Structure 1
Amino acid sequence: MNEILKLILILLVSLIASIHSESYENATKLRGDLLTNYERSVRPLKNLTGVLNINTTVALYALLDVDSVRGVVTLVLALTCSWFDEKLKWNPTDYDGIQKIDFFQNEVWKPPMTLSTPVEFTVLIDSKMFVTVSSDGLALTFNGEVLESNCEFNMQFWPFDKQICDVCFVPMGYHPDEVQSNIPDPGITLFKTGNSEWIIEKTSYFITNRYSLSEPCFRFYLRRKSTFYMLTIIVPIAGMIITSSLVFLLPNESGERISYSITIMLALAVFQTVVADEMPKTSEPTAVICVFLLMGMIVSMLSMVIVILNMRLHQKSDTSRLGSWYTLFVKIMARQGCKGHCRNNRVEDDVNEDTTMAANNAFETEKMGKSRKFIDSKADKNGLVFVEPIDNNVDNENNFETVTWKDVSHAVDNMCFIVIAVFTTVGSICCLIYMADSSTYVEP
């Protein structure tokens, strides 16, 4: 029992002594001894022919901004470096159990880690921050900074684009034979996975030796949230391009056909300016949305030109002779469903109510795809009665003999509406599917 009490007493005394030993005087003495004959500009190796290994990791606290026009990504990032300083070792028992001590970064050697993908030259050294050194010589430093890193953007599939941004550091001034960088797991710690416009889908890291420097690089895979751009830009553009074909359904007499085409074209020009503001001033690779807008502008201008020329056809005098090609074209379009425009529906009844009882003139007309013969065989109060419809095929042959320039104009309108409506609708759908489906990460 006495031996147990003695042992407990010894342990308590040792504990109290160890707590008491980590005093200001001991720490001051240790700092003075370690910094004596210490040169902070020389690599802390006993054999300077060796290589000093530095372990580097980063922690991302926020993704502030991704500027695709300037090619800049802004991050709130902390860089952690650790290495073994062979000149800062001590035996804890010689200093009453002190296991670690802090030095200001400008007091001891520290790797001059510099951002190697900078917008502005940035060295991550802060004289107000500490280097924490353990008794075995392990040194650890932690530097946080708001960094602007250069990034090459591939805007081919905007706004469904996916970007890869590398943030690299380098121990400036040291060859890989002198200082070699390493990245231990996990390499990258994410406290935020994106912002309101971008999502960090994954990360990776690697070491590269370029420009005779050892660079630890941290790669971020960014995906743009495209919903906002879809609702405010892409869908309205596609809608205007598709509706540009409706100009051929407007009557020539309305006088609004040319103004409608110009309005569509100007609206597309405005959207082209909006899209250009989101793009870097480069043509490689060309953005699909820019090609899509250009095709929409071309279709709109082509529609306007066709409308102007077609109005000249519509206003041509019926005394001008039509060629056989025009008659054939009207006949083909009549068989495709424009019979209401391509038959003899322009006969006017000049007989008024005072002379209808004496009218014996027979004439033919057609309405909604059926022809009826009007005969003044039995006089009623209107003077006209209907009889059974006559054969359409016979009527068609007679009607095509009286084709006019207005018939040609109507046929051109119908053909252009069908062709342009199909082209713009199918083209818009295919373009949107292609942009959304083909977007992928392109390794630099």
Structure 2
Amino acid sequence: MLVNIKSGVKMIHVVGYSLCLLGILMGTVKGQTYENVNNLRTTLLTSYNADMIPLNDQSGSLNVNLSTMVFTMPEVNPVLGAITMGIMVTQEWYDERLTWTPSDHNGTMMFSMKAENIWTPPLTVSNPVKFTLLDTPWMQATIMYNGKVMFTVGGIIQFSCSFSMKFWPFDKHICTLNLFPYGYMASKLTFTVPGVVVDTGIYSENGEWYLDTNSFDFKLGTVFGMSEIVYSFNIARLSSFYMLTVILPINGIGMLTCLVFLLPTESGERVSYAITIMLSLAVFLTVTAEDLPKNSEPLPIICVYILINLIICILGLLFVVLNLIVYNRTEKDKMANIYKSTVKFTKRKWFRSKVKHEPPRKKSSARIDVKSKDAFTDPEDEIADEDIEWKDVSDAIDKILFVLFVVVTYIPSIIILIYTAAASEYVRG
């Protein structure tokens, strides 16, 4: 029973509020004829000065409420250190010189006029790429009978942000948009932000950058003695495009260096193959140079990654040339024991199984002392010193270099990419 009574009372209040609102609207519509509004406008602007702050007491302070909306972020330029963003800022304040009694003007509650006819806050960006004043005098300002003025400004603006490119292309940034009333000291004009900090309900997403629409925050301060509001927000680069067009191709080209040691020396294509890989990597870096950051403070980790690939490619070419010299030596050249040990090491079964299959070698007629062998050595792995040739040495070096280059190419690449992606965090610009 009690619940029904409360529900009925609540319903009565709702109906009452609705009727009051309907009455106000009907009265407003009825009174807003052209003559009424024109006469009211003429009366209000007769002694109005748009150059003066609209306070009867000029020693007082005016408070301006800001409601900001972001609807697009078409460009983020880390090289220039700038963000292009589309914003709209609705400013609300009470103009003590623009008040009237609705009953004296046939119930006129509100009307609109061009903003150039009244005083408006000179909202300015304090961290612009170039001086930006958010002022659209041709826009309409809405004026209420109690002096409340609502005026919306905005457009596509460009403001600065400092970008830390250490974790490119997985970089994340905290950027700020700073606004202040140009020419008015903090003692004369202050900002407040009622309700939602920034409305992103109609935001159109950027294809390259992710804007965290829930990260908008603000703080109030002063700049050059004037009131300032600082909006901060988080953006992160969408790295998929760069992974497919920059990172993976460079990684793939660099890893082709390992295959040069599998080419038969007799083919005569080893040096040309290594040079082709090196030139391909250099050309690819030249083509993608415009997409890579030019910042060197801090140095992007990905630049170190690319440098490692280039150094490995150059070392591969160097080792190929040196190994060709070994391959073309003759029996007249004395063979050091280190070369013989290298061949014997690569002839062991466990090593052959990890690199490639070796055809059975003709056993030497020289006698081998089985008793002197190491307990971990298979007698079938042994080869007599007299059977080792310079071609065997070259082949053994190729096997070792192939394994070594696979390790130094893949492991650093995996470590660098994982670290760059995992360690990236939002950095305030």
- Could you state the TM-score of these two structures normalised by the residue count of structure 2? 0.83
Output the CA distance in 2 between the equivalents of 1:98 and 1:220: 42
Residue 281 of structure 1 aligns with an amino acid whose one-letter code is: K
5 Å-filtered alignment, 1:2-401, equals 20-190=30-200, 191-202=202-213, 203-206=215-218, 207-335=220-348, 337=350, 368-369=359-360, 399-401=384-386
> CA, structure 1 residues 394+89, in 2 after alignment: closer, same or farther (shift >3 Å)?
closer
Match of residue 405 from structure 1: 390
Residue 146 of structure 1 aligns with an amino acid whose one-letter code is: I
Residue 330 of structure 1 aligns with an amino acid whose one-letter code is: V
> Secondary structure of 1:442's match?
strand
Percent of pairs with identical residues = 36
188-197 or 392-401: bigger deviation: 392-401
Output the CA distance in 1 between the equivalents of 2:411 and 2:272: 25
- Could you state the TM-score of these two structures normalised by the residue count of structure 1? 0.80
The Cα of 1:311 is off from its aligned counterpart by 0.8
The Cα of 1:316 is off from its aligned counterpart by 1.3
Output the CA distance in 1 between the equivalents of 2:243 and 2:26: 69
Residue 44 of structure 1 aligns with an amino acid whose one-letter code is: P
Residue 95 of structure 2 aligns with an amino acid whose one-letter code is: D
Match of residue 380 from structure 1: none
Q: How many residues align?
A: 390
1:214-259 Cα shifts (integer Å, max 9, x gaps): 2223333222222222222221211222221111111222111111
- Of 388, 396, 417, 2:402 maps to 417
- Of 403, 408, 415, 1:430 maps to 415
Output the CA distance in 1 between the equivalents of 2:27 and 2:317: 96
Match of residue 383 from structure 1: none
416-425 or 88-97: bigger deviation: 88-97
Residue 429 of structure 1 aligns with an amino acid whose one-letter code is: I
198-207 or 247-256: bigger deviation: 198-207
Output the CA distance in 2 between the equivalents of 1:286 and 1:19: 65
User: CA RMSD for the aligned pairs?
Assistant: 2.8
> Secondary structure of 1:201's match?
strand
Residue 231 of structure 1 aligns with an amino acid whose one-letter code is: L
Output the CA distance in 1 between the equivalents of 2:174 and 2:28: 53
In structure 2, runs of 5+ residues without a counterpart are: 1-23, 366-372
119-128 or 23-32: bigger deviation: 23-32
Conserved 8 A contact 2:347-2:382: no
1:168-221 Cα shifts (integer Å, max 9, x gaps): 221111122221122222121111251222222233131232332322233332
393-402 or 29-38: bigger deviation: 393-402
> CA, structure 1 residues 194+429, in 2 after alignment: closer, same or farther (shift >3 Å)?
same
> CA, structure 1 residues 229+339, in 2 after alignment: closer, same or farther (shift >3 Å)?
closer
The Cα of 1:305 is off from its aligned counterpart by 0.8
Conserved 8 A contact 2:92-2:150: yes
> Secondary structure of 2:277's match?
helix
